C-alpha cells in the first residue's frame, strides 16, 4: 500500500519530469520541430503509401513519388504567394498610411469613436510635449529591417521544410525500425503486438483525418477565392490559398484571415457595405465548413472539446510559435486516437472529448487485439 510520502514523491517526480520535457522542447526547438513535423507528415502519407504499395510499387519509389508531389505543391503555393507577398512588403508603408486614413474617415461617422480619437490625440500631444522636454533623453534602438527579418524567416522555413521531408522519407521508406522503436517500452510479446496493432490503427485514422481535412480546406479556399473574385477584391487566389492554410489552425487561423480581409477591404472600398461584404462572405463560408461540412465527413474523429483545442493552441503556440499553432491540433488528434484505444488513458479521453447528451453516448471503436477490462471479465 502506498503511503502519503511515496505518493507525494511520485507526484513531485512526475511534475519534475514534465517540466524537464517542456524545457527540452522549448530550448531545443530547432531539433525537435523538424522531427515532429516529419513524423506527422509520415502519418498523413500513410494511407497513400499503402495504396501505392498494394499496386505493386516498391515502398522506396512510392515514398519518393509522394514526397515529390508534396514538394511540388509547396513550391506551387510559394510561387503563387510570392508575388502578393512581395507587393505587400514593398507597399507596406503606403498600406499602413492608407489604412489609418480610411479608419480615421470611418471613425468620424461615429460619435463615440470620434471622442475616443480626441482623447487619443490629447494623449499624443502630451507625449509629444514630454518628448520636446530637454530633460527627456531620446533612446533609439536599431533593429533589423522588415525585409531582413522576412529573408531570414524564409530561409529558415525552406530549411525546415527540407528537414521535415527528409525525416518523413526515412520514416515511410524504412518503417519497420520505427515501429520496433515504438514498441520497445513494452516487455512481453503480447503487449508489443498489442502496441503495434494500436499504432497501425492510429496511423490509418490520423492519415484519413488529415487527408479529408486537406480536401475540405482546399474546397474552402476555392470557395473563398471565387467569392472574393466576384466581390472585386484584388488577388483573390492569394486570399483563397491563405484561407485554406489558415483553416488548419482552428479558431485562430480563420480569425486572422477575417481581420486581414477586413483591413484589405477598408483600404480597397469606400462604402461601408462594400467593406463588410468580403469578410462577411469569408465568415459565412467558414461557418458552414466548420458546422456542417467537417462534422459530416469526419464525425467522431473531430469529437474534441473546444477547451482542449484552445489549451493546445495556447501551449504549443507559446512553445514553438507559429509552427506550434500548426502542430497543436495534429498532436491533439494523435493523443485522442491513442486515448480511444488504451484503457489506461481513459481519463485523458474524457478530458479531451466533449460530453454527449444522455442516451447518445457512444463507446469508441477499439481495434482487434486490444485488451480491454470488458474482455478480461468475459
Return the C-alpha torsion angle 128, 130, 134, 135, nearest 10.
-160
Q: Which residue has the higher pLDDT, 262 or 200?
A: 262
Q: What is the pLDDT of residue 138?
A: 46
Q: Which residue has the higher pLDDT, 48 or 93?
A: 48
Q: 324-350, pLDDT tens digit by residue?
A: 888 888 888 888 888 887 888 888 888
Q: What is the pLDDT of residue 347?
A: 84
- Residue 87 lies inside a defined structural domain of this protein: yes
- Residue 359 lies inside a defined structural domain of this protein: no
Q: What is the pLDDT of residue 288?
A: 93
- Residue 331 lies inside a defined structural domain of this protein: no
Lowest-pLDDT range, 131-135, 265-269, 316-320?
A: 131-135
Q: What is the pLDDT of residue 108?
A: 61
Domain of residue 99: give its range: 30-110+151-173
Query: Residue 278: pLDDT band by 50, 70, 90 thresholds?
Result: very high
How much is the average pLDDT of 219-238?
A: 91
Helix axes 306-339, 252-268, angle to 10 degrees: 140
Whether 221 has a pLDDT exceeding 90, the answer reads yes
Q: Which residue has the higher pLDDT, 49 or 356?
A: 49
CB within 8 Å of 205: residues ≥ 6 apart: 301, 337
- Residue 10 lies inside a defined structural domain of this protein: no
Question: How many domains is the chain built from?
Answer: 1
Percent of the chain residues past pLDDT 70, beyond the cut:
72
User: Residue 64's closest CA among 173, 207, 175?
Assistant: 173
Among 124-128, 161-165, 181-185, the range with the most confident prediction by mean pLDDT is 161-165
- Residue 255 lies inside a defined structural domain of this protein: no
Q: What is the mean pLDDT of the chain?
A: 76
How much is the average pLDDT of 359-372?
A: 42
Q: Which residue has the higher pLDDT, 68 or 202?
A: 68
Q: What is the pLDDT of residue 376?
A: 40
Is the pTM above the cut of 0.85? no
- Residue 91 lies inside a defined structural domain of this protein: yes
How much is the average pLDDT of 135-142?
A: 48
Count CB neighbours of 65 within 10 A. Answer: 14
Lowest-pLDDT range, 97-101, 167-171, 203-207?
A: 97-101
Query: Residue 11: pLDDT band by 50, 70, 90 thresholds?
Result: confident
Whether 371 has a pLDDT exceeding 60, the answer reads no
Lowest-pLDDT range, 75-84, 145-154, 246-255, 308-317?
A: 145-154
- Residue 155 lies inside a defined structural domain of this protein: yes
Query: Residue 181: pLDDT band by 50, 70, 90 thresholds?
Result: low
**Burial zone of 68 (CB within 10 Å; 0-12 exposed, 13-18 middle, 19+ buried):** exposed
State how far the Cα of 59 lies from the Cα of 49, in Å rounded to an integer: 7
How much is the average pLDDT of 204-220?
A: 88
- Residue 50 lies inside a defined structural domain of this protein: yes
Whether 283 has a pLDDT exceeding 60, the answer reads yes
Q: How many CA atoms lie within 13 A of 70 on its CB side?
A: 22
Q: Please, are residues 232 and 267 in contact by the beta-carbon 8 Å criterion?
A: no
Q: What is the pLDDT of residue 280?
A: 93
Q: Which uninterrupted H or E stretch holds 35?
A: helix 29-44
Lowest-pLDDT range, 17-26, 292-301, 346-355?
A: 292-301
Q: Which residue has the higher pLDDT, 224 or 49?
A: 224
Amino acid at each position: 500500500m502506498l503511503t502519503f510520502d511515496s505518493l507525494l514523491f511520485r507526484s513531485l517526480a512526475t511534475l519534475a519530469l514534465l517540466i524537464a520535457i517542456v524545457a527540452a522542447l522549448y530550448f531545443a526547438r530547432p531539433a525537435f520541430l523538424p522531427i515532429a513535423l516529419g513524423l506527422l507528415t509520415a502519418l498523413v502519407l500513410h494511407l497513400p503509401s499503402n495504396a501505392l504499395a498494394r499496386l505493386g510499387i516498391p515502398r522506396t519509389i512510392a515514398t519518393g513519388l509522394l514526397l515529390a508531389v508534396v514538394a511540388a505543391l509547396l513550391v506551387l503555393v510559394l510561387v503563387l504567394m510570392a508575388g502578393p507577398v512581395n507587393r505587400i512588403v514593398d507597399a507596406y508603408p503606403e498600406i499602413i498610411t492608407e489604412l489609418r486614413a480610411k479608419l480615421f474617415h470611418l471613425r468620424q461617422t461615429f460619435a463615440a469613436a470620434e471622442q475616443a480619437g480626441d482623447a487619443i490625440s490629447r494623449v499624443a500631444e502630451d507625449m509629444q510635449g514630454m518628448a520636446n522636454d530637454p530633460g527627456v533623453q531620446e533612446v533609439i534602438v536599431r533593429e533589423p529591417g522588415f525585409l531582413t527579418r522576412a529573408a531570414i524567416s524564409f530561409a529558415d522555413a525552406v530549411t525546415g521544410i527540407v528537414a521535415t521531408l527528409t525525416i518523413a522519407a526515412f520514416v515511410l521508406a524504412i518503417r519497420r525500425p520505427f515501429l520496433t522503436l515504438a514498441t520497445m517500452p513494452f516487455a512481453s510479446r503480447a503487449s508489443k503486438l498489442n502496441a503495434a496493432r494500436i499504432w497501425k490503427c492510429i496511423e490509418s485514422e490520423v492519415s484519413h483525418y488529415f487527408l479529408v481535412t486537406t480536401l475540405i480546406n482546399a474546397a474552402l479556399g476555392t470557395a473563398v477565392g471565387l467569392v472574393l473574385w466576384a466581390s472585386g477584391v484584388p488577388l483573390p487566389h492569394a486570399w483563397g490559398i491563405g484561407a485554406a492554410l489558415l483553416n488548419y489552425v482552428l479558431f485562430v487561423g480563420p480569425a486572422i484571415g477575417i481581420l486581414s480581409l477586413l483591413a484589405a477591404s477598408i483600404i480597397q472600398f469606400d462604402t461601408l457595405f462594400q467593406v463588410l461584404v468580403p469578410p462577411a462572405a469569408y465568415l459565412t463560408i467558414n461557418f458552414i465548413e466548420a458546422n456542417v461540412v467537417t462534422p459530416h465527413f469526419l464525425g467522431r474523429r473531430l469529437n474534441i472539446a473546444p477547451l482542449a483545442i484552445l489549451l493546445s493552441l495556447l501551449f504549443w503556440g507559446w512553445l514553438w510559435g507559429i509552427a506550434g499553432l500548426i502542430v497543436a491540433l495534429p498532436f491533439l488528434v494523435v493523443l485522442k486516437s491513442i486515448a480511444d484505444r488504451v484503457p489506461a488513458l481513459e481519463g485523458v479521453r474524457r478530458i479531451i472529448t466533449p460530453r454527449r447528451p444522455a442516451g447518445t453516448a457512444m463507446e469508441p471503436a477499439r481495434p482487434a487485439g486490444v485488451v480491454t477490462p470488458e474482455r478480461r471479465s468475459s
